[in-house]
A and B are shown apart, each in its own frame.
Chain A
Amino acid sequence: MTVRLQQAEPVRYSRILGLGAERGENVVTNDDIAGPIDSSDEWIRQRTGIVTRRRAGADRDVLDLAEAASVKALAAAGIAPADVDAVIVSTVTYFAQTPSAAAILADRIGANPAAAYDVSAACAGYCYAVGQADALVRSGVARHVLVVGAEKLSDFIDPTDRSISFLLGDGAGAAVVGPSDFPGIGPTVWGSDGSKATTIRQTHSWSELREDPSLGWPTLRQDGPTVFKWASFQVGQFAQQAMAAAGVKPEDIDVFVPHQANMRIIDQMIKQLGLRDDVVVGRDIAETGNTSAASVPLAAERLLAEGQAKSGDIALQIGFGAGLVYAAQVVVLP
């Protein structure tokens, strides 16, 4: 060894500098979708808390949603696209194996030649990507990272499916993560359990479709009660670990932003976590539906935009879903 390498200079702290949100433009009511699943507005509201879901039209794909949310997040953060060093997109509804959605998105928003890659972590994907962005910024590998959770789940549903399709909506949420004078992103508590890979799943793989075209376009399914039980009673411990890792107590949390899977899961989690009575809770699911990787940033952005939460609030966010996967962290809202 004749030379000594330089390594990137670490940065002390990171935070979320700005959030952006984009929802599908069409408001889809429970009555609109209840027929093929022999259900009703009352049944769906009572079991899920969903009143409407937002879905995008045929002329907008997941990249269009991601682009709109990204432009808003950069504006909110006050960061020029050219100053973005890395773009991370979490999605399960970009239907091309390669190249990545992130590379195309980076170019579209003017962040070319930023590093760009996709992550596949379903409903936990945004929190996974925030964890990565935090690590990239603090390690000095990237200065500004654009994180986007984007889904057009209406391309991945079966109108006759009673397990999950009726919950799902389309949208994108984006965050710009960058250097900070104060600690703005607590340690990410994340993990997976692939032994439960079939509890939320694609009906058949693309290679199975190639073998048997009569199978048709794959769609999503879940074992609803099993997922409900896991999400309601097992996932909360990861939120508790994230609070402990960040050195905060449940009573320090101003805002709780769980993945918007089901209002009853959200209510069960609140009961377990011992949060303050006046904690502000993301309940965007009522109007937007479950948007998988987009749901946490959409819910957080909404609370800020509507004035229920404010810049500087301490927020506990957690994503969980197909994998099974989960990720949680405590953040300071931008």
Chain B
Amino acid sequence: MANTEQEILEGLAEIVAEETGLPTDAVVPEKSFTDDLDIDSLSMMTIVTHAEDKFGVRIPDEEVKNLTTVGDAVKFIAGAQG
């Protein structure tokens, strides 16, 4: 079942918080994963894997570099859920 963008944002925030120790409310759509949240490429792959499981989508490895901000990721997941 498709999630709303708000549900995806909340779920993604939990995943990011688990991986990084950041508070979930720091994970907002306009934040950049690397520049604002200080997430490196390996943590990003961990987050992507957990997001794939949680939202039942496939995020190709070559797509990950295009997901600059939290909002980019939310939109991609929403689109992939169709």
Contact = CB atoms under 8 A, between A and B. Distances in A.
A47 B46 CA distance: 13
Nearest to A264: B42
B55 to A, nearest CB: 15
B40 A268 contact: no
Contact of A232 (B41, B49, B61): B49
B49 A225 contact: no
Nearest to A46: B40
A95 interface: no
Contacts of B37: none
Nearest to B44: A225
Contacts of A233: 49
A204 interface: no
Interface residues of B, number: 10
Nearest to A48: B42
Contacts of A268: 46
A264 B44 CA distance: 13
A32 interface: no
Nearest to B50: A233
Interface string B42-54: 1011101100000
Contacts of A262: 42
B49 A224 contact: no
Contacts of B57: none
Interface in B37-80: 40-42, 44-46, 48-49, 61, 64
A228 interface: yes
B49 A223 contact: no
A222 B48 CA distance: 19
A226 B61 CA distance: 6
Interface string B1-43: 0000000000000000000000000000000000000001110
A106 B49 CA distance: 45
7 smallest CB-CB distances across A and B, nearest first, come from: A229-B45, A226-B61, A225-B45, A225-B41, A233-B49, A228-B42, A228-B45
Interface of A: 46-47, 223-226, 228-229, 232-233, 262, 264, 268
29 contacts: A46-B40, A47-B40, A47-B42, A223-B61, A224-B41, A224-B42, A225-B41, A225-B42, A225-B44, A225-B45, A225-B61, A225-B64, A226-B45, A226-B61, A228-B41, A228-B42, A228-B45, A229-B45, A229-B46, A229-B48, A229-B49, A229-B61, A232-B45, A232-B46, A232-B49, A233-B49, A262-B42, A264-B42, A268-B46
